[in-house]
Amino acid sequence: MSGGLAGLLVATELARCQRGWQDKAMITRSHTKGDAPSTAVYSDCETFRYSLTRVWDPADKRVMFVMLNPSKATEVQNDPTIERCERRARALGFGGFQATNIFGIRATDPRVMRQAADPEGPDNKVAIRAGLDWADMVICAWGTHGAHRDQGRSIEALLRETGKPLHHLGLSKHGHPKHPLYIAYSQRPLLWT
Nearest Cα residue to 65 out of 177, 162, 147: 177
What is the residue-averaged pLDDT of the chain? Answer: 91
- The whole-model pTM stands at 0.89
Which carries the bigger pLDDT value, residue 68 or residue 9? 68
- pLDDT tens-digit map of 53-82: 999 999 999 999 999 999 999 999 999 999
Res 22 pLDDT > 60 = no
Q: pLDDT tier at 33 (50, 70, 90 boundaries)? A: confident
Q: For 60-82, give the DSSP string.
A: S-EEEEEES---S--SS---HHH
Name the band, by pLDDT with cuts 50, 70 and 90, for residue 24. Answer: low
Q: In angstroms, rounded to a whole number, what is the distance separating the alpha carbons of residues 147 and 145?
A: 5
Please report the pLDDT score of residue 25 as a whole number: 77
Determine the pLDDT at residue 149: 98
Q: What is the percentage of the chain residues whose pLDDT exceeds 90?
A: 85
- Residue 8, pLDDT score: 44
